[in-house]
Amino acid sequence: MRRTITGGIALAGALLVSAGCTAEPESGIVTEKEYEPSHSSVTQDCKTTTTTRNGRTTSSTTCTPRTVYYPECYEIDYEDDSTGETLEGEDCVSEDLYNALEVGDKYWKGMKPDDVA
């Protein structure tokens, strides 16, 4: 049993590495800008309960609505290829910084509108 658990953990780690799970770059060149207004969506959280009584199995499903709110986002997409491999990132930034940046500009996390050349 112990060998199976250890093997499963090693396999999960290998899958994460092969899936390309890499950290988002700290800086890069702006490739796209997109404004996303605030919005909400409603989904259902459902739970199915199965009961067996006197050899008879019954099941029932109960669903509860769940509202998810997404705030407005002034999104900057950027790429960093300084490592020889292209890493992509995206951040929601202030409206002022969004308006100051253009596609092709250099961007870094923590940047202020006054930093734009």
Instruction: Give the tens place of pLDDT for each residue, 58-117.
Output: 999 999 999 999 999 999 999 998 877 889 999 999 999 999 999 999 999 999 999 997
Domain that holds residue 39: 23-115
Q: 21, 98 in Cβ contact below 8 A?
A: no
Instruction: Give the tens place of pLDDT for each residue, 5-41.
Output: 444 444 444 444 444 556 789 999 999 999 999 999 9
Number of domains in the chain: 1
Q: 45, 63 in Cβ contact below 8 A?
A: yes
Residue 14 lies in a domain: no
Output the pLDDT for position 81.
81
Residue 75 lies in a domain: yes
Residue 7 lies in a domain: no
Q: How far apart are CA 62 and CA 49, in angstroms?
A: 8
Residue 48 lies in a domain: yes
Residue 62 lies in a domain: yes
Dihedral-angle region of residue 13 (phi above 0 means left; psi in -120 to 50 means alpha; beta otherwise): alpha
Residue 92 lies in a domain: yes
Residue 50 lies in a domain: yes
Bridge partner list, 88? 79
